Structure 1
């Protein structure tokens, strides 16, 4: 009996090409599991990771029970954030500040005053400044959250929680925060 027959089969049963393909696949799988290479987040130096505080301006938030929403922020201080449509982890909600809804009213002497908006439909529209804290890498190019998401003033952010999902815009980033 020949070791390799005229059709290129080993002992007349298995093709040599099939054995070669199976060997390449086994080597690839072994290479993936035993030599995985670099980490998923390349270039993140752990020594540059600092605590940061970020203030987000939320304008025109429609909420029927705004006080209940503020109470939820106090109760469940964790929120998921999305930066440029990419999930960027969770943050800790530190503070919320309700901003008054005003409208400019001309005065008889020609000046303009900002007075509370009397329109009934505005009662369900709210503005606030939300402050959250997180860990981020501080680089010469700015603040980087989750290894790849750059955070700068003006960056749109989406906050998601148990009962809310709304957008805001970054207005302040503080990197000199004591932990």
Structure 2
């Protein structure tokens, strides 16, 4: 009796393809149940969370009523934040400060003078700095909100009932934990 017959069966009974399929299934089960992964909440057990204040600078946001928009932000008091396309959740809006737009005008004596930008279309354009606060995990590489590292220059998306716009981190303050 031959070990492998003309139809690809071992000892005339078991197909080599069936053995391969069973072997693949067993390897997948071992990989899923026995080999530990790097994700999950177990890795977050020993992390330290501290309150952080993050300053965000928004330039050139087009809105019909800039003063009304800033007032709406202040009254809402919270804002949904998305970091690198990863939703974090709501953070507290601590402060909103409008930044003026200005232009430099050369003077006849060679000096320069900064004056408010007189262009009428800037009546619909808003520049402002927001300060938001939340709890972040403090790691060796900096604060982490959700699963996203937060550093100066990180693009952030803000989402609310009537708005969705992008902004950028300009400052991060790690505060002491309340005792």
**TM above 0.5, one fold?**
yes
Distance 1:117 1:177, change over 3 A: farther
Q: Which structure 2 residue ranges, 5 or more long, are not aligned?
A: 1-29
For the residues of structure 1 that align with 2:129 and 2:176, how far apart are their CA atoms? 18
**Post-superposition shift, 1:39?**
9.0
CA shift, 1:70, in A, is 3.2
Instruction: Give the TM-score, by structure 2 length.
Output: 0.71
Shift of 1:64: 0.7
The structure-2 alpha-carbon separation of the partners of 1:177 and 1:81, relative to structure 1 and needing over 3 Å to count, comes to farther
Q: Partner of 2:55 in structure 1? A: 55
Which residue matches 2:175? 176
**TM-score between both structures, scaled by the size of structure 1:** 0.71
Match of 1:75 in 2: 76
Does the CA contact (< 8 Å) of 2:81 and 2:156 recur in 1? no
CA drift at 1:40: 5.0
Per-residue deviation, residues 79-100 of structure 1 (Å, max 9, x unmatched) = 23232xx223123243111000
Could you tell me which runs of 5 or more consecutive residues in structure 1 were left unpaired when the two chains were aligned.
Answer: 1-30
- The residue that corresponds to 2:86 in the other structure is 87
For residue 169 of structure 1, give the secondary structure of its aligned residue in structure 2.
Answer: strand
Q: Which residue of 2 aligns with 1:119?
A: 119
Contact 1:81 1:91 in 2 (8 A): no
Contact 2:79 2:160 in 1 (8 A): yes
Moved over 6 A (4+): none
For 2:72, what is the secondary structure of its paired residue? helix
Q: Which residue of 1 aligns with 2:151?
A: 152
Partner of 2:4: none
Q: Pairwise CA RMSD of aligned residues?
A: 3.7
